[in-house]
Amino acid sequence: MDLLELRADFLRQEELSRAVELPRKTDLPVILTVRRPGEGGKWKGEERDRVQLLGKIGSAGFAFLDLEEDLEAPDLERRVLASGPRIIRSLHDTRGVPEDLTRRVSALARSPREIPKAAVTPRGALDLLRLLQVFQDLGPLQKVLLGMGDFGFPSRVLAPKLGSLFCYASPPRESAAPGHVDPQTLDELFRYHQIGPGTRVFGIIGNPVMQSLSPEIHNSGFAALGRDAVYIPFLVDELEPFFQVADSLGVHGLSVTVPYKEKVIPRLERQDPSVSAIGACNTMRRGTDGKWEGTNTDAPGFLAPLLSAFGGRLPPGLRATVIGAGGASRAVVHALAANGARVLVLNRTPSRAEQLAREFGVQAAPLDSGVKLMARFNDLIVQTTKVGMSPLSAEDPVPDYVFSGKEVAYDLVYVPRTTAFLKRALAAGCRVVRGDQMLLAQAFEQFRFFTGSDYPDEATRRLRIFSRYPA
């Protein structure tokens, strides 16, 4: 169901007198809420004045009145029930997920006309798992149940699948509570109105992950193919409880980003040769037996735009520097070494660079002193670290390296599209490859792994994700 909520605690004093007009100006049912600071609201007056306000305007055509779990106002409640609105009886916990949440939600409604609502704040994957268990415990009970903040975000998008009557959204840049997204994003990006009990769940796990552009890529593909599926970000702090979350939701496929590309490998029952060769997994799906299968699409995703930059094939004897030694760099080094390139790996932690170099038979050096060696490995320079991303968007991983203009500079960072590293390369006359090209190429490989279908051309033409971000 679609509704509006009037958060009267956000209104200025001169606006409160016009609050009664809203129900007459819309065809949607309207919830009236006047939230106290203790539950995340902005009401600054006395409690008796808040109750009087609820009573004064609550009977002016509002469909629902949101009253807190501990509010004792029998006269107000009698007047509300007599005048038509239903009560949403709500509890809020900004500290976590209460251990007795099932009991408290079950006891919230004081009459058959009341709807219990709980907004809690998962602090990690374990808390999200506990919230999902509450959904299961409450079964078909009519309710509103949601997790606030980034860890609770999946419970908002998946509300129709989980059995919550609705979730909450806010206008862009005006979030009324942690974790709100705007209605257009819910409807157009996540196709909220099409989600139901049978919707298949896919997603991306990482930390950080909420700014990932992968949901737009994959959800656009699902929409173009008419698939009953949704792809969402999962902020993960611990893998063990997260995979229990994945079991609870029946997650069918996952993209994997930092810092979990190597750590998920023990979870795989089956893996293709790319995982073993690279030592990292960036894509997982459930097989027909429910077991996790893994692959790595970073290597072909990295190579696709690079081959275009070099006219279809890498030149013989290509000399390349790879900055970084994480999961993404493993795929880059593997792809380059497998195509005959001579590779130098630079990393702030020399031991990680040396370990990576030993595995792939390439050279390694510490980042600070190794910059001097880059002149011998500078046909291609690949930047694989988070330097260049927010909050490091102004930084350059190799500020002391002087571009000659003959290099091909490749940065895996895709927001912003032109990092400080690439700006210097462009100023010197270098050809550049941006991270968004790799993002799309590897995502299209993931989509094929998830669905068995090529990424639809229709969806590719509609993608506008990079136009919203800094160049």
Provide the annotated active-site residues.
261
Query: Alpha-carbon dihedral of residues 230, 236, 239, 244, nearest 10 degrees?
Result: -50
Under DSSP, the state recorded for 389 is B
How many angstroms separate the CA atoms of 101 and 95, rounded? 13
> What's phi and psi for 322, nearest 5 deg?
-115, 120
27 CB neighbour count, 10 Å cutoff:
7
* Integer angstrom CA distances of residue 109 from 89, 91, 172, 207, 259: 6, 11, 32, 37, 43
User: In whole angstroms, how far apart are CA 118 and each of 124, 133, 348, 390?
Assistant: 18, 14, 46, 33
126 φψ region: left (φ > 0), alpha (ψ -120 to 50), beta (else): alpha
Q: Parallel, antiparallel, or unpaired: how do β-strands 292-295 and 283-286 relate?
A: antiparallel
Q: Are 147 and 156 in contact (CB under 8 A)?
A: yes
Residues 6+ apart with CB under 8 A from 160: 192, 195, 196, 197, 199
> Which residues are within 8 A (CB) of 124 and not within 5 positions of it... i.e. 6 or more apart?
151, 237, 238, 241
Give the CA distances from residue 183 to residues 24, 85, 188, 201, in Å, rounded to whole numbers and listed in that order. 21, 24, 8, 20
State the greatest distance between any 2 C-alpha atoms of the chain, in Å, as a whole number: 84
Which among 433, 427, 437, 431 is positioned nearest to 460, based on CA atoms? 437
- Pinpoint the alpha helices (H) of 226-272: 239-249
